Amino acid sequence: MEPKHINKAEILEKLAPLIDNTAMRYNMIPLEVDFSKENGKWFLRIFLYKEDGVTLDDCENVSKSLNPFLDGIIPVKFYLEVSSPGLDRKLKSDKEYIIFQGKLINLKLKSLIEGTEEKQFLCKILDFDPENGLKVLKIDENKELIVPKDKIYRAQLQIEDI
């Protein structure tokens, strides 16, 4: 029998140090942890990052390491999914802007910013500062721009040729 109210924020707060420590043990960084209900079933999804790529073995190792502890934290039946973020991931956190520094992104703005007449363009992340925003190199014009965080509608990794 499922409890009437599930405090997702509280569960995620308890899971955070466990997931961080487990990922760190395998030289990975958790980019996103999501605990949500879909079609009547609960899912715990963990997206991991490693500079040289996350393998199936990495996901399996993290799953096996976490499994013994999760039932004590999560009071309902759930499905665990551990995966890499994907080659064309939408960036969702400050941490990701820092991790993916030097990578190409498709950037879509909520409104125009100084230095460009376009609301969507390909650029490379040069730097990120939570106060000032995202410093990027606009590829087609080879021009540096500062994009305030509140002007970013969507930032998505560009799949680069290998």
Q: Are 72 and 16 members of one domain?
A: yes
Output the six-digit token pair for 4: 């009437």
Q: Is the pLDDT of residue 1 over 60?
A: no
Provide the number of structural domains found in the chain.
2
> Is the model's pTM score more than 0.95?
no
> Rounded CA gap, 56 and 86, in Å?
13
* Shared domain check, 119 and 63: no
Residue 88 lies in a domain: no
The rounded mean pLDDT for the chain is: 92
Whether 162 is in a domain gets the answer no
Residues with Cβ within 8 Å of 59's Cβ and at least 6 positions away in sequence, in order, are 48, 82, 83, 84
pLDDT score recorded for residue 136: 93
* Residues found in the chain: 162
Q: Are residues 109 and 152 in the same domain?
A: yes
Q: Exposed e or buried b for every residue in 3-36, given b needs 16+ CB within 10 A?
A: eeeeeeeebeeebeeebeebbeeeebbbbbbebe
- CATH number of the domain that residue 127 is part of: 2.30.30.180
For residue 76, give its domain range. 8-83
Please say whether the beta carbons of 3 and 75 come within 8 A.
yes
Determine, yes or no, domain membership for 79: yes
Listed in sequence order, the residues at least 6 apart from 42 whose beta carbon sits closer than 8 Å to its beta carbon are: 6, 35, 36, 74, 76, 77, 78, 79
**DSSP reduced 3-state for 120:** strand
pLDDT over 80 at 4, yes or no: no
95-122 average pLDDT score: 92
Give me the pLDDT at residue 3, please: 60
- End residue of a domain, out of 24, 59, 83: 83
Tens digit of pLDDT for each residue in 38-85?
999 999 999 999 988 899 999 999 999 999 999 999 999 999 999 998
